[in-house]
Amino acid sequence: MTAGTLSNGKQKPLGVAEAVQKARDTFNSGRTRPVEWRKEQLRNLFRMYEENRNAMIDALHKDLRRSKMEATLLEVEYLINDLKDTLHNLDEWVKPTRPSKGFINIMDDVVIHNDPFGVALVIGAWNYPLQLLLLPMAGAIAAGNAVIVKPSELSVACATFVAETLPKYLDNDAVIVVEGGPEETTELLKQKFDYIFYTGGTNVGRIVYQAATKHLTPVTLELGGKSPVYIDNTVDINITAKRVLWGKYINAGQTCIAPDYVLCNKETQEKFLEAAKKVLKEWYGEDAQKSPDFCRIVNSRHFGRLQAILDTDKSKVAIGGKYDLQDKYIEPTIIANVKPGDKVMEDEIFGPILPIVPVENAYEAIKFINEREHPLVLYVFSNQKNIQNLFTEQTRSGSICFNDTIMFYGVDTLPFGGVGNSGIGAYHGKATFDTFTHKKSCLVKNFSPIGEKLASGRYPPYSDGNLSFITTLMRKRHGPSLKYLPYLLAFALGAGLSYGVVALNKMYTEEA
């Protein structure tokens, strides 16, 4: 938390309530509303990304032993490209929109204004500690909000980077970083916010949602769950193995949209295992622990959770299964012939362990999926259009992706978010701006005699004639567009008046 400076040059820390009040005072002053202020902040944020690329990559390596490739593509460049798109489109996004209108409002102006909510709280996650914090923060700024930013304390190096670097580039009165753990988060959730954006686990998501209801605060909850993969026998199994394993093992499986388990028949399972052995050896060599491209588990607690899964289901391990507590390393692992009641199927795995659950066909797979909570994403590998349509129509998930994993996340025109247990709300691209924007409806009437005549039937004394007239005006019509009708009416009125003036003038001339 930052405020003024102390004599030693360091920022004086703010209390949680004081930080929120400071942000609210700034928003209430109107400082964050002008589009130029928003663009200035976003340009400064862009400069921060450009000037601190190496520092961001180093912080990610310290927290997760993230390779330069994954750190750059999945966090740094992702943030940069999202910000470029926002800056390019912001002038257009902030413009009021004018929806269609009925005959009764034909002379009126019907407008939807894009208003900021006020003070937004953005709580980041430890698995992608920069992207999942700074991307929604940028959207909140673009929408004109003041923002309280809470990085995850589990990714220590990235939290430190954000706390030390962000205040050097952004308006410290409008964007305030709050550091700390559960105690500080609990205190934050006691405060009144105008919007809360949380990324993390479902259990904490429920706590955030419950706290938000006290003030009727709207929320976006980006959660997770067990995202399934279905594979049929029509696919190229070697390409399928690469795409599934890449999605699973980037960031050592610590990705909310990572494939959590595979559903396929036993014949496909054997082909997949054979292909997977070759792929993993090609990627990580004989010993993945020595590979510079394989991440580590974030801390000992999460390591212990994953170790317990491996120890319980070790008899079914088909590939991998080794681990090293000191290095927080868990080998890329595949568990075969898994049953629904096995430990690995209890909760979201969030690690480099991939179970395969045998099913006979797509119908059995759909039944299996529908008996569980709605996943954040569903992956389907099939060349059959009817199978793709079957999963689209008969399952519910935040997103669905065919014949690949993870890649849909990079399409910024696709809103990303969960459904049910996997989350509330969506963001990415313009959807991020819209998430932090209140769509304020506005009707603007004038004192035109035509408009007043059209609406005069509403006034007492009431009569059946007035009722019939008003209901006729209110009746929904779906013929030609009425968009230009006000101009035609104005033209007709003007033409009528002009004709009247000419006629009167002619009459007086003849009399003279």
**Which residues are identified as catalytic?**
222, 256
Buried b (16+ CB within 10 A) or exposed e, 115-127: ebbbbbbbbbbbb
Is residue 11 exposed (0-12), middle (13-18) or buried (19+ Cβ within 10 Å)? middle
d(CA 360, CA 342): 19
Element (H, E) at 263: strand 261-264
Instruction: Look at residue 358 and give its three-state secondary structure.
Output: strand
Contact 359/263 with Cβ under 8 angstroms? yes
Tell me, what DSSP letter sits at residue 256? T
**Spatial distance between the Cα atoms of 72 and 63, rounded to a whole number of angstroms:** 15
CB 221 within 8 A of CB 308: no
CA atoms within 13 A on the CB side of 386: 3
Given phi > 0 = left and psi -120 to 50 = alpha, else beta, which region is 428?
Answer: left
Q: How far apart are CA 86 and CA 433, in angstroms?
A: 8
- How far, rounded to the nearest angstrom, does the alpha carbon of residue 323 sit from its chain's CA centroid? 33
Sign, CA torsion 363/365/368/371: negative
CA 238 from chain centre, in angstroms, equals 32
- Per the structure block, which two tokens stand in for 263? 């559903």
**Residue 277: what residue type?**
K
Q: Return d(Cα 417, Cα 413) in angstroms, integer.
A: 13
